[in-house]
A and B are shown apart, each in its own frame.
Chain A
Amino acid sequence: MTKEMKSAAAGQRWLSAVLRSREGNLVLLIAVLTLLTTSLNPRFISPQSLKDLMLNVSIIALLVLGQTVIILMRQIDLSISSIAGITAFFSGTLFINYPGIPSLAVVLIAILAGLLLGGVNAALIAWGRIPALITTLGTLYIFRGANYAWVHGRQVNAVNVPGSFLAIGTSTFVGIPILTWIVLILLVVFAIGLRQYRVGREFYAIGSNPNAAVLAGINVSRRLATGFLISGAIAGLAGALWLARFGTVDATAAEGIELSVITSTVVGGVAITGGVGSVVGAVLGALLLSVFSSTLVFLRVPSFWQQAFQGAMLLLAIAADAYLAHRHALRLRVKWSHV
């Protein structure tokens, strides 16, 4: 075999690996979409619009990290938007009530607050044995209702928040916004944690087959609680960063954002039936959705179409996952039928 043939074969293998993995597909899709839109409107890849894109995707991508853990376990967390909303306003009031409080302290307190609210979900789901959908649908409204009652028409404005804190949402480091750096670092932590560590593998095991997980000696209740605590803490952090990004926060902050997060996660290849997917794919899913929605803006599609597109993409992703799982099952059956 000549050298060229070998490298060609290697290239082909590499290509087929890219085409076969969800992450590879997503990167390709994002690239194609970007090229298409850029050819129609070159301003699409101007530094400013790239920065906007990164900032827009960051908070969703952050929440996607927590949601991935949840969906991997065949659960769902609808309450993240309400947790992020309440902690965003809470962070703002901390700056107002305690002038001179360090930004880091506010971020940590916001994470703690998120952890606490996530703890409510965790207790109800793991020990109250209420399905996650019902629990988090309930707490979605309870937390948001509490937020409305507490905020009572007030607002936190950018003037109430110190510039050093707002800088998290506006300034860049090596060309990438600090907000995006935070998400990237957490992405690496989550990717390694889910791949290499026992806790991470247990999340996958629970989602693949809950009964088998119990028989394998996994404390399912405790892992469920861990997941919802993580999701809550991440939502708390997202709330603080929401304040840093937008400066102005009222009772409606982050309302409805859970739909984008769940759609991103599922489009990113985390199967809604649990046990399958990666956090990198999920974040790429968020990026794809974000690129797609800015494409719509650049193509002057009315903003009213956004939500319908998001719903359609979620349905497509679920259907695609089910189809792939079905084909995989068929292939396994053929493979073993000769034995």
Chain B
Amino acid sequence: MSQSQPSTRRLARRVSWETILALLVLIAVIGGTLLNKDFLTVENWSNLLANFVEIALMALPLSLIVITNEIDLSVASMLGLSSSLLGLLWEYKLAMPLAIVICLVVGALCGALNGFLIVRFRLPSLAVTIGTLALFRGFAYIVLGDKAVADYPPEYAEFGIGNVPYTFIPSPFVLFIVLALIFWVVLHHTTVGRSLYAIGGNQTAARFSGVNISQLKMLLFIASGAISALAGIVFTFRFSSSRADNGTGFELSAIAAVFLGGVTVQGGKGTVTGVVLSLLLIGIINNVLTLADVASEVLRIVTGSLLIISILLPNLIASTHERLRLRERQREINRLVGASVAK
């Protein structure tokens, strides 16, 4: 037993969370293929990827925010606001490219408001973004009321639902691939990325090491706002519809993906690869359940449970490890005490 224990622990240390997620994705793909013959078709995969593109977009900046030990609950409301604003501007016959730019700027401003309140006034991000969750969704209702705008030009609707030529990859998904690459480079291969980990690990130590915490956090919240607005634009074109309640509750899926991806609540840990894999896993699970005609309310239960399990499981593993370590140390102490008494 004393032989096997250290070796399993060494194994546990070597098997990263990303490997486990990759295995889970593989299992989900195999399971989906066995359960449903429609699963492994080009058409279905194109659907699968398209269906989580908004959540995937929002999860990228969100994971960086969680790594610095903050949170942004207002992402789905910024999505709704951007979608509503796009509808209003289009109704006012504004040129579409200009309307898109305005939406992105407004998104960035919303993010800047979050960042300003959190960084400048040192307010807890949880409380601030619960407030702006209501505020931005309220703005969406002020902008569009209970109207719906649907008459978008066909070329934009085509971008929303079409694929990249000669592939099964949905056009909006390209945005995600590009942004994921950018975030991967920034987080894992630049000083900015190292600074983000430093902030999450120990904010005081980071400050004394000369990291400009306020500036970085501000940038992250602005990025979160702009990318959520982008997700709102994608959502609008994908469904050819602007409504004030678009994307309500999406923050749950985005947060679930971030935590399932191995970003810890205490901050300072997590990788872009992990988050991308967990997004894929959630996407596959939702897709398999939808193919099996499971009602959408059950999907909510699944996402909520995934969120809780993604934190409960590591916690349980950690506490079991801790207990084993303590028992081992107690045994060592007993042995030493026994030896000294014998002497």
Chain A complexes with chain B: yes
Q: Does A102 contact B (CB under 8 A)?
A: no
A-B contact count (CB 8 A): 138
Interface string of B119-158 (1 = CB under 8 A from A): 0011110111011111111110110011000000000000
**Chain B contacts for A273, CB-based, 8 A:** 124
Which A131-183 residues have a C-beta within 8 angstroms of B? 131, 133-135, 137-142, 144-146, 148-149
Q: Does B194 contact A (CB under 8 A)?
A: no
CA distance A149 to B302 in the complex (A): 12
Interface string of A247-263 (1 = CB under 8 A from B): 00000000000010011
Cβ contact within 8 Å between A319 and B117: yes
CA distance A307 to B134 in the complex (A): 6
Chain B residues touching A, range: 35 or more
**Chain A contacts for B312, CB-based, 8 A:** 124, 128, 130
Cβ contact within 8 Å between B130 and A259: yes
Q: Does A266 contact B (CB under 8 A)?
A: yes
Dominant secondary structure at the B interface: helix
CA distance A260 to B132 in the complex (A): 13
Cβ contact within 8 Å between A141 and B304: yes
Q: Does A302 contact B (CB under 8 A)?
A: yes
Cβ contact within 8 Å between A309 and B297: no
Chain A residues touching B, range: 35 or more
Cβ contact within 8 Å between B127 and A266: yes
CA distance A134 to B139 in the complex (A): 26
Q: Does A222 contact B (CB under 8 A)?
A: no
Q: Nearest Cβ in chain B — how far from A100, in angstroms?
A: 32
**Chain A contacts for B124, CB-based, 8 A:** 272-273, 318
CA distance A58 to B14 in the complex (A): 56
Q: Does B169 contact A (CB under 8 A)?
A: no
Q: Nearest Cβ in chain A — how far from B314, in angstroms?
A: 10
Chain A residue with the shortest CB-CB distance to B310? A134
CA distance A138 to B307 in the complex (A): 6
CA distance A138 to B308 in the complex (A): 6
Cβ contact within 8 Å between A142 and B301: yes
Chain A residue with the shortest CB-CB distance to B143? A304
Interface string of B258-271 (1 = CB under 8 A from A): 01000001000000
Cβ contact within 8 Å between B305 and A142: yes
Cβ contact within 8 Å between A149 and B71: no
Chain B residue with the shortest CB-CB distance to A305? B142
User: A141, A149, A262, A311: which contacts B132 (Cβ < 8 A)?
Assistant: A311
Q: Nearest Cβ in chain A — how far from B106, in angstroms?
A: 14
Cβ contact within 8 Å between B134 and A142: no
Cβ contact within 8 Å between B123 and A130: no
Cβ contact within 8 Å between B141 and A145: no
Residues on B facing A (Cβ under 8 Å): 71, 117, 121-124, 126-128, 130-139, 141-142, 145-146, 244, 249, 252, 255-256, 259, 265, 295, 297-301, 303-305, 307-308, 311-312, 315-316, 319
